[in-house]
């Protein structure tokens, strides 16, 4: 049923950084609730810009973007945190805090939405166990492998139970074994109902997939 409800909609969106640098051009795209989408394209094709527009790290030059029927391009700066709480973001470079343990790195997501204490602690432990890091709560990011760090980043993104997960090249630095682990976690999150946009340039990931694949080239969606 949820497959028919639109959760994200890009309407004629253009993002131009300067005169000769158009990252996205007149892009329109609808994403239904519960979809798992592979956003593919070469480096510089506009994948990261598209994701950044969704969590308003960038604003479009033209066009409108709707998230759950709200035009986020018209949001005031004070409303942006509320949008971001609906979205879990997994970055290619993990963006973990080196001076905090992995427990604290995940806890911070709950703290910003006002959840603390035992309840928050239990939730963090549960999610870290789910991604296979239940025994490494007190480790610091630098004590973990690349794949483990990426799993911490995923745990941080999903601990707030977001409706949308944006993953920007989350397997870019991982070997095939670790990549499959990450895909499996994403599959599970999708099965729980999260809408996932998975940006990658690794063709192997979507070769034989039944998921929708959106290919970007020079800021446009290929038919």
Partner 1 sequence: MTFNIIIKKAFKDINRNFAPQIITTAIVSLFIFILVFYDVLSLNLTRFVDRFGRELAIVIFLEKDISPTEVPKYYEKMSKIKDIKKVTYISPEEAYKRLEENLKEEKGVLEGLNHNFLPHSFEIEISQAIQNLERIQDIAKEIEGWKGVSKVLYGQEWIQGLSIFAKNARIFVYLVALILLFTAAFVVTNAINSLVYHRREEVEIMRLIGATNFFIISPFIFVAFLQGFVGSLTGVITAFFAFNKLKEFLYTSPLLMDIKLAFLNINEIFSILFISVIFCVSGTYLALRKSLEL
Q: Which residue, 84 or 125, is less far from partner 1 as judged by CB?
A: 84
Between 95 and 204, name the residue whose CB sits nearer to partner 1: 95
Separation between Cα atoms, residue 35 and residue 56, nearest integer Å:
21
- Phi/psi region, residue 91 (left: phi>0; alpha: psi -120 to 50; beta: rest), is beta
- Cα dihedral 55→181→44→196 (10° resolution): -30
Instruction: By CB under 8 A, name the binding residues for partner 1.
Output: 55, 57, 78, 81-85, 89, 95, 97, 100, 108-109, 111-117, 156-157, 160
- Between the alpha carbon of residue 183 and those of residues 80, 161, 200, the distances in Å are 29, 18, 12
CB of 160 to partner 1, least distance (A): 8
Min dist CB 200 to partner 1, Å, is 20
In the complex, least distance from residue 173 CB atom to partner 1, rounded to whole angstroms: 18
Helix/strand/coil for 71: strand
CB closer to partner 1 out of 108 and 222: 108
32 to each of 80, 102, 194, 210, how far by Cα in Å?
A: 22, 33, 11, 15
Can you tell me the distance from the alpha carbon of 157 to that of 173, in angstroms, rounded to the nearest whole number? Answer: 18
Taking the complex as a whole, the smallest distance from the CB of residue 86 to partner 1 amounts, in Å, to 8
Residue with Cβ nearer partner 1 (32 or 84):
84
> Which C-beta is closer to partner 1: that of 120 or that of 216?
120
Q: How far is the CB of 127 from partner 1 (least distance, A)?
A: 14
């Amino acid at each position: 049923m949820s497959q028919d409800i639109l959760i994200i909609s890009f309407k004629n969106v253009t993002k131009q950084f300067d005169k000769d640098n158009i990252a996205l051009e007149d892009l329109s795209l609808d994403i239904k609730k519960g979809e798992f989408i592979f956003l593919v394209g070469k480096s510089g094709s506009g994948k990261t810009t598209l994701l950044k527009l969704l969590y308003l790290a960038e604003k479009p030059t033209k066009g409108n973007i709707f998230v759950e029927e709200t035009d986020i391009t018209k949001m005031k700066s004070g409303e942006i945190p509320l949008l971001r709480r609906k979205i879990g973001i997994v970055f290619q470079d993990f963006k973990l805090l080196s001076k905090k343990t992995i427990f604290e790195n995940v806890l911070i997501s709950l703290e910003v939405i006002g959840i603390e204490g035992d309840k928050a602690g239990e939730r963090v432990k549960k999610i870290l166990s789910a991604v296979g890091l239940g025994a490494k709560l007190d480790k610091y990011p630098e004590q973990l492998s690349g794949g483990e760090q990426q799993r911490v980043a995923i745990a941080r993104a999903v601990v707030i139970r977001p409706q949308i997960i944006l993953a920007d090249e989350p397997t870019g630095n991982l070997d095939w074994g670790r990549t499959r682990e990450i895909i499996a976690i994403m599959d599970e999150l999708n099965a729980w109902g999260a809408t996932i946009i998975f940006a990658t340039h690794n063709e192997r990931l979507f070769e034989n997939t039944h998921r929708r694949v959106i290919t970007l080239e020079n800021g446009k969606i290929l038919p």
